[in-house]
Each structure stands twice: as structure tokens, then as C-alpha cells.
């Protein structure tokens, strides 16, 4: 059995969609990042970086793991977590050197590009009360540039790296939230086709409903946008603002 520590965010969904696609048995442990559950000492034993997602795989012993009895191996960093699950199951990551490298290249593209740029676009466009236009432009423009890279790749390829893989899951979980970052997807025909084709996968739908029903959460968030932004700012700067 695997414990998944997560919240309703793109990085969290990367883990839950992956687990759903693989049909693995897992228990959801919801982490409230607005009240800093992720900074508590017991969670830092699982993820020293104090962020979601993380998993504990109870099928694997680890004397240095988070549990005193050595029962459970902890994995943090969403990209590493996806590779771990792919290797555990033999799914969504080819084993030949070339195929594996291609998937890891596009996974790292998300980890080092799409995620950080969209994340910072969210911070400056959405959460900060001060509108610092050069910062908003920088992160939105970089997101647009990265969307162009994905679009060109998807013009000649159904998926990013051969068959549907963890690279598609990782990028999709972020790209689908483009509106929250204030970036349009309309100009990117191939990217839109790919986003829509993954959105109808049953595992993508169920993974997005972890740890909460997404529609209900979006409704609550829309009704209470100011409170949501206030909590996000508090998490970012460590105080009310």
C-alpha cells in the first residue's frame, strides 16, 4: 500500500493521475498547504523540502525511512516520484535507453520549465497584491514560449515521447491550468488537441478529483477568491498580506 500526501495543485495531480493510470492501491493523506501542514516535523521526515506531493511506499522497507519500524520508503519531488512508480510497475516509461531518455527529457522539461514558469506566473499575476508588470510579463512570456515548444513537438507526435507516458501526465497537469496563469492556449492547435485527448482519460478525471472533488473546490475557490489568494500569499511570504 502507498500513502499519497497531496493537495489540489498541479504537482499534486501529477502524483494522483499517475497512481490512477497505474491502477495502484493508495491511501490519500490530504495536506492543507494553506495552514502549513507541509512544514510540520512529521511531514518533513517524509519530504525534507516541505512541499507536496510525496509518497510512502509501505511495500518497501527503509531503515532510514519516516517510520521508526523501518516500514516504508519515502519519495519526494514529483518527477522522481513518477519515475519511481513507473519503474515499480513497468508502466508509462520504456525500458530501452533511447525511449527512456526521451520520456525523461520531456519530464524534465516540465520540472525545470513549465512548472516553475507557470508557478511564478501564478504568483505575480494571481497572488501578489502588487502588480509588478515586468515580472508578470517575464513569466507569462516564458510560459508562452514553452507552450510553443510543446506545440511544435505535438505537431508531428501524438504524445510527447512515443506512447503516452509520465512525461505527458506531468506536462498535462500543468498546461491544463493555463488560464490560472493568465496564458491563452488558443493559438496552439496541437497543444489543444493533446490537452483535450488526455482530459477524457478516466484516470486523468479521477486523478484530478484527489484529494477533493475538483468542481466543488473550483466553485468554493471562485466564491472565495480573495480568501484563497490571501492564503496563497501567506504561504509564499510566510505572513498575512
Ligand X SMILES: N[C@@H](CCC(=O)N[C@@H](CS)C(=O)NCC(=O)O)C(=O)O
Find the binder of ligand X among 78, 120, 122, 165 (CB under 6 A). Answer: 78
Residues 7-66 within binding reach of ligand X (CB under 6 A): 9-11, 33, 38, 50-52
Q: How many CB atoms are closer than 10 A to CB 112?
A: 11
Q: Angle formed by the axes of helices 97-109 and 166-175, to 10°?
A: 10
Per CB under 6 A, the segment of 21-29, 75-83, 95-103, 156-164 that binds ligand X is: 75-83
- We find the least distance from the C-beta atom of residue 156 to ligand X, in angstroms, to be 28
User: Is residue 21 within 8 Å of 167, Cβ to Cβ?
Assistant: no
CA–CA dist 172, 216 (Å, integer): 21
Instruction: Please identify, using beta-carbon distances, which residue of 51 and 153 lies nearer to ligand X.
Output: 51
Under rule CB under 6 A, residue 235 binds ligand X: yes
Q: Of the listed pieces 4-12, 93-101, 178-186, 212-220, which binds ligand X according to CB under 6 A?
A: 4-12
Residue (of 165, 160, 136, 134) closest to 147 by Cα position:
160
Distance from the first to the final alpha carbon of the chain: 40
Residues in 175-204 that interact with ligand X by CB under 6 A: none
Q: Which residues bind ligand X (CB under 6 A)?
A: 9-11, 33, 38, 50-52, 77-79, 235
Amino acid at each position: 500500500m502507498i500513502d499519497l500526501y497531496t493537495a489540489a495543485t498541479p504537482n499534486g495531480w501529477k502524483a494522483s493521475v499517475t497512481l490512477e493510470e497505474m491502477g495502484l492501491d493508495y491511501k490519500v493523506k490530504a495536506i492543507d498547504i494553506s495552514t502549513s501542514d507541509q512544514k510540520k516535523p512529521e511531514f518533513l521526515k517524509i519530504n525534507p523540502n516541505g512541499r507536496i506531493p510525496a509518497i510512502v511506499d509501505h511495500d518497501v522497507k527503509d531503515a532510514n525511512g519516516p517510520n521508526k519500524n523501518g516500514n516504508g520508503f519515502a519519495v519526494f519531488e514529483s518527477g522522481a516520484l513518477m519515475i519511481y512508480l513507473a519503474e515499480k510497475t513497468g508502466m508509462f516509461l520504456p525500458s530501452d535507453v533511447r525511449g527512456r531518455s526521451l520520456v525523461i527529457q520531456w519530464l524534465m522539461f516540465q520540472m525545470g520549465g513549465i512548472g516553475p514558469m507557470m508557478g511564478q506566473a501564478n504568483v505575480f499575476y494571481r497572488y501578489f497584491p502588487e502588480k509588478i508588470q515586468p515580472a508578470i510579463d517575464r513569466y507569462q512570456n516564458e510560459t508562452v514560449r514553452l507552450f510553443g515548444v510543446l506545440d511544435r513537438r505535438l505537431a508531428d507526435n501524438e504524445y510527447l515521447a512515443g506512447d503516452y507516458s509520465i512525461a505527458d501526465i506531468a506536462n498535462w497537469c500543468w498546461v491544463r491550468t493555463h488560464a490560472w496563469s493568465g496564458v491563452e492556449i488558443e493559438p496552439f492547435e496541437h497543444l489543444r488537441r493533446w490537452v483535450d485527448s488526455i482530459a477524457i482519460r478516466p484516470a486523468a478525471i479521477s486523478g484530478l478529483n484527489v484529494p477533493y472533488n475538483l468542481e466543488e473546490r473550483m466553485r468554493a475557490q471562485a466564491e472565495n477568491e480573495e480568501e484563497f489568494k490571501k492564503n496563497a500569499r501567506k504561504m509564499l511570504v510566510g505572513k498575512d498580506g
